[in-house]
Amino acid sequence: MGKHPIIANGEIYAEPVSKALGGGPKQMPRGYFEAKQRIINALDVLTQDIAEGEEVFLDERIICIRLEPKFEAKSYIPSALINAMSSGSSKIVGGRKYTVYGDERGLSAKLYFVRTTDSGINQLKATLQNGDRDNVEQWQQQIRSIHTINLLKPDEKIMGFADDWQAGTVEFVLHPLPSSTEDEISAFFIHSGINADNARIKTYDDGITFISASCTSENVQRVKEYNPLRAVHPMGSISVTPMRNVVGSLCPSVHPSSAKPDIHIGVFDGGADDSHPLLNGYVTAVDGSTEPAMHELLEHGTGVCSTILYGNLAGKKGSDVLNPPCVSVVCYRVLPIHDYHDYDLYEVIDFIENVVPKSQETKLYNLSIGPVGAIVDDSISRFTYALDKLAYEVPDGIENPLFVVAVGNDGELPPTFNRIQSPSDIVNGLGVGAYTYDANGKKAPTSYSCVGPGREGAKTKPDLLDFGGSLDHPFIVPSLDHTSLCATAGTSFSAPMVTGKIGKLMAMSTRVSPHMGRTLLIHNAEIDNSIPKDNQGFGFCAENVSDILECTDKHVTIMYSGIILPSQFLSLPIFAPRINEMHGNVSITWTVSVVVAPYANDPDAYTNNCLEDVFAPHSMTFNFTKSGMAPQKINLLDDAKIPLVRNLIDSGYKQSSVPVSHPAKRVWDEDDLRAVDLKWDTIIHKGVSMRSSSLFNPTLTLHALGRNGFETEKIRYNVVVSIDAPRYEGSLYDSILQTYQNLTPIEIRNINRLIV
């Protein structure tokens, strides 16, 4: 069976479609007038709490509008209440989840943080009491969806601390108060008792402020009643994976190359020895730290760079000659940091935020460093937000950078301390865990690799597993002595394995961007259904990425990439000519990735945009519906059904605006869509297996959604679709290219011939 290059330009055949949106009215927990009186009572208590100094306030107050459980859709954002607060100065400045405790167990629900004044609170109360809006439907719906309005409890701000925590580095997050940011920060230090000289501060354009400081539990307790404080979580120390020399091992050499590869990969680490024979000519070391280099950090960074260039050196001997790398590396030495207590690595983040926008030729980065400590759902670290923001904010026509990040090595800690570590919880990049081999030679997640789930926007984490080594199967990298090898293990090395594979895909084809490489690796990952998803994410990364860029006659992969307009429905054809004429089953898999704006003010709505997907297997099968009657699904290509269709229409049935989807879309609550369909996540990865007779011009329709003021943003997407039709007569690959002549096989470069 012949091998062929995968096919590109699928987006040329994409078509906008119009679609009627479904969904009906939601059952409300209580009547309007009961709900209204509850809110008036809550506002009385809130006003009293403010007057009695329950918290330390500035001129503006941050209050919480807490919704009932199951009211998470953006249609329930309490915009009508905000408009009722005086003079337009009140504003939603973020949100998060909270827990509503009923008779038996706590239920998760949504709260919104609102910046307002005393007059705004009084105006809302007056509007409720005078009844001016009692007959406005949107007002009624929003009032009935609210559980209460109050202050964020001090203990709701503190998250992720162990019971015995006494002192350490902590990250504080302050609400946006743009008119008085300086006063807000000054008051923070006064009320916390923290020395401002021992802290690092970063305020972003959207007004949110991150403060990293070394402090004690007493400082945390003192500041938890500071009203502008949104969240506080601890950060661990910085640690790097130790190395040990492999006795008697000699380092291989590399075949001389006549040219430096033109695919550039950036590495932020502890430095690299670019004079090492394996790195010389391929790695450029740049000092980004004012402190002297440290041996163990230099060893770590050198190993990471070698991994990107050559992978794992296990089994290599001194007599071996390696193929020259197909990528080059710029290694920025960002460790050690100047401030020993800067465990949140604000110095490193500052450096990255300065370098990445200026490095137009580098669009792929590896981070095998980061602060130790599990992520918490209700708070975003500055490191994560900074990388997601850098990945998204690029000028039109410029490729989005991709960050590949190690998930951390605390997988053996008890839950939830074994969860992935920032910034691997990024939504616009890849978080990579580690696998090794068990006693039977089978791939298995390592015990040390941190586990998922990820956060809202990227709930599947780690994204991928790659080989990271273990005691029985160590990961081998070059030693700084230039002659021998070192043994190690950690996600520090599984991450650059993935980075190097994306670099290789980019070197093999100019049609593969970093984010298309991200999509291809997830699309081709190998899942083990006996392993929990939180331990493997989308699965084990392909070992030989050259295979990813190949099709066979019966198994065809097509790439699509482009821009989808806000609120648009875009139909992507799944190219399968005459597929309904064959016998047997057909498998279709698809992977969609997007790059979206992050919103640190609301960890529960961290992604401002997303795509929803609908797979329609048969373009001529429609639903016919009538109120109170069971829907009828009819294939309009079946001539015998034409009289039935006429009768249905004559009796008041309506034909659906789009073909029937598979699986049939249910009318789900927002929280079910998030939990089951992973709505608002940046990756969609699905597949179906169907009888070929059920397929006719199948399509994948994408629907662009926005929230948090990003409803008018275009979304950049990458899609990979594979069709596996083992009993197709002739070559499906040839049939596709003959039928759709704007599709083109990608050109695959022989990377070794290119370089040597």
pLDDT in tens, 534-569: 999 999 999 999 999 999 999 999 999 999 988 889
pLDDT tens digits, 210-263: 999 999 999 999 999 999 999 999 887 777 777 777 777 999 999 988 788 999
- What pLDDT does residue 157 have? 95
Least confident of 69-73, 81-85, 316-320, 585-589: 69-73
**pLDDT tens, 298-354?**
999 999 999 999 999 999 999 999 999 999 999 999 999 887 666 679 999 999 999
**What span, in angstroms and rounded, lies between the C-alpha atoms of 49 and 227?**
12
Query: How would residue 755 be classed by pLDDT, with cut points 50, 70 and 90?
Result: very low
Q: What is the reported pTM?
A: 0.93
Tokens 């701000």 identify what position? 157
Would you call 78 helix, strand, or coil by DSSP? coil
Instruction: Please write the tens of the pLDDT for every residue from 457-469.
Output: 999 999 999 999 9
Bond into 532 cis (ω within 30): no
Q: Are 282 and 328 in contact (CB under 8 A)?
A: yes
Name the CA radius of gyration of the chain, rounded.
Answer: 28
For residue 510, the model assigns a pLDDT of: 95
Per-residue pLDDT, averaged over 186-193, amounts to 96
**pLDDT at site 754:** 43
d(CA 344, CA 327): 31
Q: How confident is the model at residue 74 (pLDDT cuts 50, 70, 90)?
A: confident
Mean pLDDT within 470-493: 96
Give the relative orientation of helices 382-392 and 346-355 as an angle to the nearest 10 degrees: 10
The answer to whether the CB of 121 falls within 8 A of the CB of 63 is yes
Quick check: 608 pLDDT over 50? yes
pLDDT at 104 over 60: no
pLDDT confidence of 743, banded at 50, 70, 90?
very high
Residue 396: predicted pLDDT: 87
**Do 109 and 98 contact (CB within 8 A), yes or no?**
yes
Q: What is the DSSP code string of 535-564?
A: HHTT-BPPS-GGGGGEE-SSEEEEEEEEEE
In terms of DSSP bridges, do strands 485-488 and 464-467 run parallel, antiparallel, or are they unpaired?
A: unpaired
pLDDT band, residue 665 (cuts 50/70/90)? low
Beta carbons of 110 and 95 less than 8 angstroms apart: yes
> Residue 756: what pLDDT?
36
Which pair of structure tokens corresponds to residue 327?
């990528």
For the chain, give the percent of residues with pLDDT over 90. Answer: 75
How far apart, in whole angstroms, are the C-alpha atoms of residue 407 and residue 416? Answer: 14
- Integer distance in angstroms from the first to the last C-alpha of the chain? 30
Distance separating alpha carbons of residues 405 and 499, to the nearest angstrom: 9
CA–chain centroid gap for 755, Å, is 35
Provide the pLDDT for residue 343.
65
pLDDT surpasses 60 at 707: yes
pLDDT tens digits for range 371-430: 889 999 999 999 999 999 999 999 988 999 999 999 999 999 999 899 999 999 999 999
284 near 519, Cβ under 8 Å?
Answer: no
Matching residue, tokens 């350490």 = 168
How sure is the predictor about 126, in pLDDT bands with cuts at 50, 70 and 90?
very high
Q: What is the pLDDT of residue 342?
A: 67
Burial class for 713, CB neighbours closer than 10 Å (0-12, 13-18, 19+): middle
Asked if pLDDT for residue 434 goes beyond 90, the answer is: yes
pLDDT for res 344: 76
* E strands, 598-755, in order: 609-616, 621-625, 632-635, 654-655, 683-691, 699-706, 715-724, 744-745
Give Cβ neighbours of residue 492 (< 8 Å, ≥ 6 apart).
240, 241, 300, 303, 304, 368, 369, 406, 409, 468
Where is average pLDDT lowest: 74-83, 199-208, 243-252, 299-308? Answer: 243-252
Sheet holding 632-635, edge to edge: 632-635, 621-625, 654-655
The DSSP line for 691-722 is EGGG-BS-EEEEEEEE-TT-TT--EEEEEEEE
CB neighbourhood size of 245 (10 A) = 12
Distance CA 727, CA 721 (A): 19
Q: What is the pLDDT of residues 41-73, one digit of tens each?
A: 999 999 999 999 989 999 999 999 999 988 887
Question: What is the side-by-side strand order in the sheet with 475-478?
Answer: 244-245, 485-488, 475-478
Is the separation of the CB atoms in 380 and 457 below 8 Å? no
- How many CB atoms within 10 Å of residue 521? 27
- In the chain, the percentage of residues whose pLDDT exceeds 70 is 95
What tens digit of pLDDT does each residue of 501-537 get? 999 999 999 999 999 999 999 999 999 999 999 999 9
**SS3 state of residue 444:** strand
Task: Rank 75-79, 128-132, 308-312, 622-626 by mean pLDDT and report only the highest.
Answer: 308-312
- CA nearest neighbour of 544 among 492, 512, 504, 513: 504
Pairing relationship of beta strands 264-269 and 328-333 according to DSSP bridges = parallel
pLDDT tens column, 15-41: 998 766 555 567 888 899 999 999 999
Q: Which residues contact 139 (CB under 8 A, 6 or more apart)?
A: 80, 133
Q: Locate the DSSP E strands across 414-565.
A: 430-437, 443-445, 464-467, 475-478, 485-488, 550-551, 555-564
The residue ranking higher by pLDDT, 244 or 432, is: 432
> Can you name the residues that pair with 62 across neighbouring β-strands?
115
